[in-house]
Amino acid sequence: MKIKLLKGDITKLVVDGIVNAANTSLLGGGGVDGAIHRAGGKLILEDCVAIRNRQGGCKVGEAVITTAGNLSAKKVIHTVGPRWNNNQSNEPQKLESCYLNVLKLAEENQLSSLAIPNISTGIYRFPKGKAAQIAIKTIQAHKGNSLQEVIFVCYDEENYQLYQNILDA
């Protein structure tokens, strides 16, 4: 499985799957979540509402999958990252669990390429360096079956530099 690094807007990518940093309500929000719902249109929200009605949203560390609506992708995988709480609420384990559950859904749905944003490092304020280590370690440990390519998509320069340094090392 190839791992790539890109800087930019994840909603513009042509890939099988786009990962969203959602919240437990699955009803949208700011940051990358807002951008994905705006660009993907109402079909994504409709799927999210159906999942809510079935199972009552999505817990921290878990993931759900929906259509990608108007995006140039087949699916969106929504995962809910932990809100940083001074490392007092198992945030690293919860973030790792996000990546593991995203990979599981990607494989189950036979996706071959996946774009992932820097989950929890915006509004949820998880320290970026620590989050990058967890993201890269968890993705690198995965033996791709359907998955041939994972693209880390950084929106801000700080995350991009952190990812580049770890991936180059």
Structure tokens at 152: 């880390």
Stretch binding ligand AR6 (CB under 6 A), from 16-24, 45-53, 58-66, 136-144: 16-24
Tell which one of 35, 45, 100, 167 touches ligand AR6 (CB under 6 A).
35
Tell which one of 10, 58, 103, 150 touches ligand AR6 (CB under 6 A).
10
Number of residues binding to ligand AR6, judged by CB under 6 A: 25
Q: CB of 140 within 8 A of CB of 153?
A: no
Catalytic residue, candidates 9, 16, 33, 47: 33
Tell which one of 5, 31, 70, 164 touches ligand AR6 (CB under 6 A).
31
Residues 61-90 that bind ligand AR6 (CB under 6 A): 81
CB of 162 to ligand AR6, least distance (A): 10
160 touches ligand AR6 (CB under 6 A): no
Local structure of 65: helix, strand or coil: strand
Tell which one of 119, 132, 134, 147 touches ligand AR6 (CB under 6 A).
119
Q: Who contacts 147 (Cβ-Cβ below 8 Å, separation ≥6)?
A: 1, 103, 106, 107, 111, 112, 113, 114
Q: What is the rounded distance in angstroms from the CA atom of residue 143 to the CA atom of residue 106?
A: 12
Q: Which residues of 18-45 are buried (b: 16+ CB within 10 A; e: fewer)?
A: bbbbbbeebebeebbbebbbebbeeebb
Strands (E), the chain: 2-7, 17-22, 63-67, 75-80, 113-116, 149-154
Tell which one of 111, 118, 132, 151 touches ligand AR6 (CB under 6 A).
118
Query: Toward ligand AR6, which CB reaches closer, 31 or 127?
Result: 31
Which residues on adjacent β-strands are paired with residue 17? Answer: 75, 114
- Residues in contact with ligand AR6 by the rule CB under 6 A: 9-11, 21-23, 29-33, 35, 81, 117-124, 153, 155-156, 159
